[in-house]
Amino acid sequence: MTITSFADQLDKSRPAYRSGIGATVPARKNVLVVDDDPGMRGMLADYLGDRGFLVTAATGSQEMKRILASGSVDLIVLDLKLADGDGLELIRSLRDGSSVPIIVITGHRRDEVDRVVGLEMGADDYVTKPFGLRELEARIGAVLRRAEAPASRRTEEGTARKCSEPARYHFGGWELDLHARRLRSPTGSFVSLSKGEFSLMVAFVRAAQRVLSREQLLTATRVHDDQVYDRSIDVQILRLRRKLESDPSQPELIRTERGAGYILTAAVEPIFAARC
């Protein structure tokens, strides 16, 4: 199978195919594979093309943008580690103006924070290297079927997903309420948070007891507040410590890991909405 141009792939001549898990997927769905590894890119394009998909392959972020500008695609398979751009940033920029389904490829199993952030930024699913091609095919089929679900069904699924996510987080006597967007202290008083501070707290409680780099915090906070910039992360952390720590000069809750980033040291307990 050869990788044809995007324009050549828009014909409708091929029949529908049946996925590896036995579910029928409509014919000629356009899948854009974005990966700077030529071996991986070619393997995915060959396999998906043989399974009945129209496949466009991009070597990086710039080529991906050119392809998207030239026409529509039905799904993007995106490697998070690209030589010419950050995959998480690409997801964020795509979600600013597009609802195209995205399946991300991560490098190894310890990239948990990137996977979580990618899903929160709008990715629909992920696979971790090494992965089976039949698994990827099944995930593509499942994501495409969800994307084609009636609006009422998608609304129901969105409600169920919302109810499956925590409404509040408890840590070290504190409580962060995501719905009310407020922080309550161990004494019961409410502590005001700026948009940037709230965004950072959300990132910390969702990745508690794991070191987050400045880049990861920057990416996570941009989901909520696009006015948080790289070097301002340190300033926001300082302000948070003044509100959370009994002695901000000797922080216990949010500690610095030199050369690595910051970590929320407390164990976090997620609390789910009672009415769901």
Where in the chain are the domains?
Answer: 7-148, 163-272
Q: Report whether CATH 1.10.10.10 matches the domain 163-272.
A: yes
What are the tens digits of pLDDT across the range 119-144? 767 788 888 888 899 999 999 998 89
pLDDT at 226: 43
Cβ proximity of 147 and 30 under 8 Å: no
> How deeply is 114 buried, as exposed, middle or buried, from its count of CB atoms within 10 A (0-12, 13-18, 19+)?
buried
Query: Which parts of the chain register pLDDT below 50?
Result: 1-26, 151-152, 223-230
Angle at 235 between CA 231 and CA 240, to 5 degrees: 140
Q: What distance in Å separates the CA atoms of residue 83 and residue 66, rounded to the nearest whole number?
A: 17
pLDDT at 159: 53
pLDDT at 101: 92
Q: What distance in Å separates the CA atoms of residue 124 and residue 120, rounded to the nearest whole number?
A: 9
* pTM, two decimal places: 0.51
4: its two tokens: 């044809």
- The CATH architecture of the domain made up of 7-148 is 3-Layer(aba) Sandwich (3.40)
7-148 and 163-272 in the same fold: no
pLDDT at 14: 36
What are the tens digits of pLDDT across the range 149-172? 654 455 555 555 556 578 899 999
What are the tens digits of pLDDT across the range 241-253? 999 999 999 999 9
Cβ proximity of 240 and 276 under 8 Å: no
